[in-house]
Chains A and B, each alone.
Chain A
Amino acid sequence: MTAPVAVAPPGATIAVDRVSKWLGPVVALSDVSFSIGPGVTALLGPNGAGKSTLLRILCGLTSPSQGRVRVLGADPRTDLGLRRHLGLVAQQETLFEQLRAFEIVALSAGLHLVADRDQAARGALGLVDLDPDDARPVQTYSKGMRQRVKVAAAMVHNPTVIVLDEPLEGLDPRQRLRMIELFVQLGAQGRTVLVSSHVLDEVERFGSQVLVLAKGRLAASGDFREIRDLMDERPHRLRLRSSDARRLAAALMAGGSVVGTHLESAESVLVDTTTVGAFRRAVAPAAAAEGVRLLEVTPLDDDLDSVFRYLVGR
């Protein structure tokens, strides 16, 4: 994976070149460039980062305000032929509520001009562990089952490029595992699988390439481990509650495990560290050595939003 790109490199199935999208006064995407090839790529970002907008642009559901997108060398907005090779699991829950799962997937096969709809539908439903002969309409299905129907409908025409917007939402852990295995398997078959998620640990399981979007910008891209390292290197802020906050802060500063402190009260101090692991090992011995009773250690910025904020602010 490379970023940014002016011209798609050989082997790239999706090429995004300086794409921006404005939704009224809101900048949903800002100057995003990347290219990806076959295999699983995770699109990671907090809610509101612009993931769904980017995926909609990649599927031609909306046009970029600026920039250029090519999927399999074609413009997804205007090239109808491309849609035979493109599968989308949209974020919205809506399905044709009165229809059975089999009917919906067969309908998707028909809309994608698949010759033997019924056989294709049975195959796709089998991939997601759903019964093609289930007589119930999908409105009676659980969220996880509906999600699997959507995945089957997106794969029924055997697409080369599969775009999935938060496909693991609503699935139980066993189903998540099964679905992740399926994505990995599809990637190994040489398909381009682009999966969006706002759950960091989920993405780690793909063992994949990662694009990180935050506030409409491409904050990072590359191998997941490199991104993880970047995240571990960022400054972390923690709150320490103890019997003597000033004394403990001084000891930690002297020990070199924190890079800054901010005294909140006699019992509470905020500390900044760039080496969380070393800090965690040092804090208890430092408190003991100073005769300070350590009451509580609270990380303040371990949530994903702060990780993304850091990546954007780098």
Chain B
Amino acid sequence: MTLVYRLLLRSLVSRARVAAMAAIGLVGLLVALAIRAADLTGGERSLAITRDLLGGYGLNLVVPVTALVFASAAFGDPTDDRTMVYLWLTPIPRWRLVAAGWAATLTVAGPVAVLPVVLAAALAGADGRLVAAAAAGATLATVGYTAVFLGLGLLVRRALAWGLAYVLIWELAVARISKGAARLSVSVYSRSVLSAVGEVVKPRNAAAVSTSLIVLALVVLAATALTTRVLARADVA
């Protein structure tokens, strides 16, 4: 499995991809610096903007988009460049290939997605608790989103477009207005953890921390099982 992990990791770490994602994170850092610089009237307003930055920009944009870009490429790139045939012909069980792909994705997407959110919290002047909350929320969101998006590169040709549509339509729109849909939203659970740990205003349709952790674990298991099934049944060119 280490071999597959290293192989997929090598293919994931392209300079252009990491630079593009880091640029998105950098925007958050600049906004955080601006918040800190503009903090002339006292902490409350600044804290509210920081919360919005972490929840809105960080967990709703930086983390899902970074997770999407790397996770969909883990098996999407080998499919597109037709090197998947070498991976597919190995006798290694499919679930182990998927686990290796997920581990490789987390290795790259983790730092690129989580660090900007945590740094943005610190730069904006958030207290230690909110910084820890940002780290916990971003980490959980990265874990959930990478698992969900891993199989996307195998399932559809334009994985980025489909993934963005999912984030924008389902996570940011439908899950906000529908309580039922919110139960199937990675964003709602990760923001629930952010608000609970950071003791800030709960997001709409928030869940308890324990529920959030259990559901995110189930999401990872279900997504991994689905990706394994898709990989096993894939038509490899």
Task: Give complex CA distance A86, B235 in Å.
Answer: 18
Closest chain B CB from A156 CB (angstroms)? 11
Task: Give complex CA distance A92, B83 in Å.
Answer: 9
| A80 engages B91 (CB within 8 Å) | yes
| B89 engages A86 (CB within 8 Å) | yes
Q: Which residues of A contact B88 (CB under 8 A)?
A: 61
Task: Give complex CA distance A125, B7 in Å.
Answer: 21
Closest chain A CB from B3 CB (angstroms)? 4
| B91 engages A96 (CB within 8 Å) | no
Closest chain B CB from A188 CB (angstroms)? 25
| Residue-wise interface mask of A (76-89) relative to B, using a CB-CB cutoff of 8 A (1 in contact, 0 not) | 00101111101010
Q: Identify the closest chain B residue to A86 (Cβ).
A: B89
Task: Give complex CA distance A125, B214 in Å.
Answer: 50
Is B93 in the interface zone, CB < 8 Å from A? yes
On whether A61 and B91 interact (CB within 8 A), knowing A107-B7, A110-B3, the answer reads no
| B85 engages A88 (CB within 8 Å) | yes
Is A62 in the interface zone, CB < 8 Å from B? yes
| A111 engages B82 (CB within 8 Å) | no
Closest chain A CB from B99 CB (angstroms)? 15
| B237 engages A108 (CB within 8 Å) | no
| A83 engages B91 (CB within 8 Å) | yes
Closest chain A CB from B230 CB (angstroms)? 14
Q: Which residues of A contact B236 (CB under 8 A)?
A: 56, 61-62
| B85 engages A83 (CB within 8 Å) | no
On whether A111 and B87 interact (CB within 8 A), knowing A80-B93, A92-B82, A94-B81, the answer reads yes
Is B4 in the interface zone, CB < 8 Å from A? yes
Q: Identify the closest chain B residue to A78 (Cβ).
A: B232
B90 touches which of A56, A96, A112 (Cβ 8 Å): A112
| A113 engages B89 (CB within 8 Å) | no
Q: Which 3 A-B pairs have the closest CB atoms?
A: A111-B90, A83-B91, A61-B236
Residues of chain B having any CB pair with chain A under 8 Å: 3-4, 7, 10, 81-83, 85-94, 232, 235-237
Residues of chain A having any CB pair with chain B under 8 Å: 56, 59-63, 78, 80-84, 86, 88, 90, 92, 94-96, 98, 107-108, 110-113, 153
